[in-house]
Chains A and B, each alone.
Chain A
Amino acid sequence: MSSSTRLLLTLAIGAALIFASSFIDELHVYYGAEIAVYLIAISSIVLLTGFSGQLSLGHGALMAIGAYSCILSYNGWHLPLVGALIVGALTTAFAGYILGFAAARLRGPYLAGATLALAVGIPSLANQFHVLGGETGLSFDVGDIPQWVTNSWFVKAGGQDYTSYKWYFLIAVSCALPTIWVLHNFLHGASGRRFKAMRSHPAAASLIGINIARSKVLAFTASSAVAGLAGGLFALVISTEPNSFTLSLSFLLVTGAVLSGISNLYGSIIGAMVLVAIPELSASVATHLGNSEKVIANLPGVITSLLLILTVLILPNGAHWKPSKS
């Protein structure tokens, strides 16, 4: 399939999803929006871990950077939403670029530990500086849905109220699909091949002239940009509280990426659906178990952790990782 065919297909899928959303009830459309946000976030981990072989436990913190810079630029400079999301992605890319230099020198567990420290450190900053809004986070009000959306024929076709959750879905899908398209081209082009070579055999990769350090920094920067975009959307759709960008979010993203098959970009959709489905599933299980507060709060964690452990044990190389012949 050529790149332009894929672009057309992507646009067609997007149009179909948005058209369909005007017929579906609000709650399910909202789940769709959540899936789109997690899809972007997981694809950033797939790029970094699955392709370039660097493990980050700090992507929750990078998403926080994206979210806060997006909101601050939206509220402060009155940028359009698209502009604010781009500012969020670029700011996070810059942070990732700096972090990438440190990361490129670190291996497996050391990189994991360093990014872990980042994931614990960054969200506590929000409580330190007044401008970051403290524990409740900043308010992110994108205002009314534009007239051209509510008046367009594909929205009216559904005959239902076009609520703000559907508007969020439209925004998230219009960000997610192009992101996947760009990432596909990026990862199946020269950069992606360099990443794969670097991951599976660093020595051979550097012998054929690949600059390992530069490739690692590039991977970290690109992954951070995607994570920053996901952060802005996360703030819009899910939550702006600093407490939702903690270590748990980073773990959740790694879990999603592992469930996706770690180096499978399109598998991200499965990972994203599982991440959204688990809290809902466990809520209904908790209802059967008598609705105790302990169960409601902790069952999702038990399920995701068990899934993570089992997936790593059964498919330690991911769906596509082949044994290297060293």
Chain B
Amino acid sequence: MSNFLQTLLIGVSSGSIYALMALALVLVWRSTRVVNFAQAGQAIISTYIGYEANFHLHNYWESVVVAVVAGAILGAAVEGLVMRPLAKRIRGTAATDIAPVIATLGVLGLIRSLAGLIWGNTFVQYPSPLSAKGYTIGKTVIQFSPQSAAIVVGTALVMLAFALLFNYTRLGLALRASSFQPEISRLAGIKVDRIRLVGWACAGAAGAVAGALVTPTSYLSPNSLDLLLVSGFVAAVIGGLDSLVGAGVGGLILGVGFAFILEYIGASLTFLSGFIILIFVLLVKPAGIMGKRGGRSA
């Protein structure tokens, strides 16, 4: 199998994780106009909870479910305990742009330190029943394992679930309406605050899926999802920060891009190339960058 196709496959599986993370950021952005820099941190906690569940239940797939529920609760807690009180205090002040960002950073720092306090700063394994060894095609072992396949399939399922939720359910309609026109939604009888909480919970769940799926391919530590912190954001921005489809496409583009940079240029430049791609996208394709609200459909 050619080197090129292998790199492409690696890119697709890591891109799926970025896409899930970007999806989580987009869900939060759509419901409260906040970029949640704590998202990767929330995923760390939910993954640790999944790791504990796996330890006691001895069943990876059940532990993933536990992690997803924990992630959803955590997302709702961050919105309810920190972000909503803050939003009420800063309405109409000069701090509306900056204070929420700082608050999510505070939550990220708190989560990382708490994870270290509880589970220690060491690396732990969160094994899955699927092999992380690559498939063998002909005589060569490729770097695409059953776990990578699970990542791609899992991401596709989550994306599909959210697409169905947003387009075919009353809850999805309420989510769309309250992010588009909160005041009018309130008049129409939608409990906007509660719907926003649901948005954050959905985002937490999506992030939890990302954490629980990607961790068996490496290891778990309080900082092990740092790359997701940046790449999820970059992927979301590539997709326009407002669209679920955009998050998926952005994640795949970034994943494949990173895979090729890693393969053909060098490992240390991966992080910096994330910055360069981000700046390039922000400067060249400013849709959504200048805060224009036009064209925001479901």
Binding site for B on A (CB under 8 A): 49, 53, 55, 57, 102, 105-110, 112-114, 116-118, 120-122, 124-125, 127-128, 199-200, 247, 251, 254-255, 258, 293-295, 297-302, 304-306, 308-309, 312-313, 316-318, 321-324, 326
Contact = CB atoms under 8 A, between A and B. Distances in A.
A108 B98 contact: yes
A300 B116 CA distance: 11
B184 interface: no
Interface size class of chain B, counting residues whose CB lies under 8 Å from the partner chain: 35 or more
Contacts of A251: 105, 108-109
A112 B116 CA distance: 25
B188 interface: no
B210 to A, nearest CB: 18
A324 B93 contact: yes
B109 A105 contact: no
Interface of B: 34-35, 37, 82, 85-86, 89-90, 92-95, 97-103, 105-110, 112-114, 116-118, 120-121, 226-227, 229-230, 233-234, 237, 266, 268-275, 278-279, 282-283, 286, 289-291
Contact of B234 (A117, A316, A321): A117
Nearest to A304: B109
A105 B282 contact: yes
Contacts of B230: 113, 116-117, 120
Contacts of B286: 105
Nearest to B231: A117
B interface: dominant SS: helix
B278 A114 contact: yes
A305 B117 CA distance: 13
Contacts of B279: 102, 114
Contact of B105 (A117, A199, A308): A308
15 contacts: A49-B98, A55-B101, A105-B286, A107-B291, A108-B97, A113-B37, A113-B230, A116-B230, A118-B275, A301-B110, A302-B114, A312-B106, A316-B86, A317-B90, A324-B94
B113 A316 contact: no
A168 B59 CA distance: 57
A326 to B, nearest CB: 7
A114 B282 contact: yes
A201 to B, nearest CB: 8
Contact of A113 (B35, B82, B107, B110): B35
Given A114-B282, A316-B86, A108 B92 contact: no
A316 B88 CA distance: 10
A interface: dominant SS: helix
A107 B275 contact: no
A194 B227 CA distance: 37
Given A49-B98, A122-B272, A309-B107, A316 B90 contact: yes
A134 to B, nearest CB: 11
Contacts, number: 171
Contact of B89 (A113, A301, A316, A322): A316
A298 B279 CA distance: 33
Contacts of A308: 102, 105-106, 109
Nearest to B280: A102
A104 to B, nearest CB: 11
B93 A317 contact: yes
Contacts of B34: 109
Contacts of A120: 226-227, 229-230, 271, 274-275
Contact of B86 (A55, A312, A322): A312
A297 B93 contact: no
Nearest to A102: B279
B109 A305 contact: yes
B110 A309 contact: yes
Given A57-B105, A309-B106, A321 B282 contact: no
Contacts of B108: 251, 305
B289 A312 contact: no
Contacts of B268: 124-125, 127-128
Contact of A116 (B112, B229, B283): B229
A114 B275 contact: yes
A313 B89 contact: yes
Given A108-B98, A326-B92, A117 B113 contact: no
A323 B35 contact: no
Contact of B120 (A114, A122, A294, A316): A294
A108 B289 CA distance: 10
